[in-house]
Amino acid sequence: MAVITIVGAGMMGSALAFPARENGNEVRLVGTHLDREIIEECKRSDKHPKFNKEFPKGVKYFQIEEIDVAIEGADMIIGGVSSFGVDWFGEVVLPKIPESVPVLTVTKGLMDTEDGQLLTYPEVWRRMLEKSGKKLSLNAIGGPCTSYELVAHDQTEVAFCGEDIEILKRLKTMMATEYYHISLSTDVVGIESAVALKNGYALGIALTIGLNQKEFGIDSELHFNSQAAIFGQAVKEMYKLLDYQGAATLENMSVGYGDLYVTVYGGRTRLVGILLGRGMNIDEAKEELNGVTLESLVVAERVARAIRVAHKLGKLEIGAFPLLCHVDDIISRKMKVNIPWEDFTFCYNK
């Protein structure tokens, strides 16, 4: 039996307590400073307020002030914060973790640099730790997985990525169950880039749902031609960005496209895309979804900014990314939705 400490009591971090505990491990769930009420509810009812199912018996709950106790003796630390908690996790949590204990993060996203690079969060944390000379095994989870379906034990396949395959094998042993299936990859840039990129593109696909509701009515039947057209364009642009990252492999693309699919059909990104498609501007959509964490907006803005910088440096052709640039225009410049359909067409003469 291993000891697994999860830091961050949001939906995905908390959902991982299910396979972790059901695999026979001791599981400690630590709330951040933003999760105080969630942890109190977990202690009271053994149930996360966003889930309709109780945690497996034996999960232990800790407030952030108890983090040192929760980390002591742990065999693995799972980071369950959102993109907005990346700096906090790097500054507050990582320095507390012994170098012998591997970290596994569920946080999906990318940081852009002034020269148009896109950095994974494990790389961001590695650079933060470099200043103190500390070294940790920084690993990550990517792939199509929604928290509530993981809790429901829907068959799920994800990828654990990290630099050391033997550590990844050990982490898989701790977490794999009959419903939680884990591939392994040492291509951290590829897996993390693929699953981060899908956020901005899933929002783009969801725009078409809102557009059709605007034209035909909220309760009108779904129209799939437009969704499929955007999905195809998203696949092309994601491939080009993975190629820019030096990571356009079949394995990475399959993880990213699978994640794109599940994100279109459920979750917060779908909601904001629909509202924008109906005609709301980004401020109105945020107000409508008050309290909902919208990481897809952050990813889309950062990646679009990196594309524009790389274009100026002659590294990317901005015309190859009409969908993401339009999504960014809607978010950053509050432009109305006007999907550039003809820019998605091509002429292939073999």
How high is the mean pLDDT in each 10-residue block of the chain (350 residues)? 96 97 98 97 97 97 98 98 94 98 97 97 97 96 96 98 98 98 98 96 96 93 93 98 97 97 89 95 90 82 97 97 97 95 96
pTM score, whole prediction? 0.95
Same domain, 34 and 153: yes
CA distance 347 to 349: 6
CA distance 216 to 214: 6
Same domain, 201 and 332: yes
Residue 179 belongs to what domain range?
A: 3-186
Domain boundary among 154, 186, 218: 186
Same domain, 177 and 199: no
Same domain, 181 and 198: no
Same domain, 241 and 331: yes
CATH (domain of 14): 3.40.50.720
Residue 217: predicted pLDDT: 93
77 closest CA partner among 142, 137, 152, 1: 137
Helix then strand then coil, % of the chain, to nearest 5: 55, 10, 35
Backbone angles phi, psi at 72, to 5 degrees: -55, 125
Number of domains in the chain: 2
Same domain, 31 and 65: yes
Residue 291: predicted pLDDT: 62
Question: Would you tell me the crossing angle of helices 250-264 and 224-244 to the nearest 10 degrees?
Answer: 140
Any domain includes 350: no
The amino acid at 216: F
CATH (domain of 267): 1.10.1040.10
Domain boundary among 186, 203, 234: 186
Residue 267: predicted pLDDT: 78
Same domain, 121 and 207: no
Q: Which of 60, 198, 336, 350 is catalytic?
A: 198
Matching residue, tokens 């018996």: 57
Domain boundary among 186, 216, 231: 186
Concerning whether 198 is annotated as a catalytic residue, the answer is yes
Same domain, 128 and 198: no
